[in-house]
Amino acid sequence: MRRVVGGILFALGILTIFSSPIALTGFFVSEGWKNAENIFGIVFVIFGMILLSNFGSLEKRILDSGEKQQIKSAFRQWNGRLTGAQKQILRRYGIQTEKTGSGHLAFYFPGVPTKIYTSSTPSDQRTGLNFTLKLLIPYIEENYSKRDGS
């Protein structure tokens, strides 16, 4: 709906601007700013462009605190292997994993051409939380919205 209204306003603004008599000399253009038709046309074009542009990052694309806590607590005790809760969270957002030949875990984020590797030893327990805070939660917030069922 927003894009339809934006397109209509944009087209109306362009038509208003081009239908009013404006000469391209500097003097007449400055006089043309006093003309209400030109101002309305410019305003319509600007509002149309604002409505047509994608403000996805400003929409409700964040996880609520409960969901973030659930994800963080699932990855808090990292031991190099995925638990059932971790697998469920990764599956929910389409993230695939594989075990490499050296025993590390590789994560494949949808739409990202590279793999993300984590440590495979239980001695580095902070890895799971770092992965969650720096990669997983920002990825989810950037790519999923409440409408997508996240």
**111-119: long-range contacts (C-beta < 8 A, 24 or more apart)?**
111/143, 112/139, 118/78, 118/80, 119/78, 119/80
- Other beta carbons within 10 Å of 119: 19
Max mean pLDDT among 31-40, 60-69, 102-111 falls in 102-111
Share of the chain above pLDDT 70, in %: 75
- Can you give the pLDDT at residue 59? 46
27-47 core/surface letters (b: 16 or more CB in 10 A; e: else): eeeeebeeeeebeebeebbeb
pLDDT at 130: 86
Q: What is the mean pLDDT of the chain?
A: 76
> Which of 13-27, 60-74, 104-118, 132-146 has the weakest average pLDDT?
13-27
Residues sharing a CB contact under 8 Å with residue 44, sequence separation 6 or more, in sequence order = 9, 10, 12, 13, 16
68 CB-contact burial (10 Å; exposed 0-12 / middle 13-18 / buried 19+): middle
Residue 88 pLDDT class (50, 70, 90 cuts): very high
Query: In this structure, what token pair is assigned to residue 138?
Result: 């920002």
Q: Which residue has the tokens 């327990």?
A: 125
The rounded distance, in Å, linking the Cα atoms of 104 and 98 is 8
Query: What are the tens digits of pLDDT across the range 18-46?
Result: 776 655 554 544 554 555 556 777 787 88
Assess contact for 68 and 137: CB atoms under 8 A: yes
pLDDT above 50: residue 58: no
Among 5-19, 44-58, 61-75, 127-141, which stretch is predicted with the lowest mean pLDDT?
A: 44-58
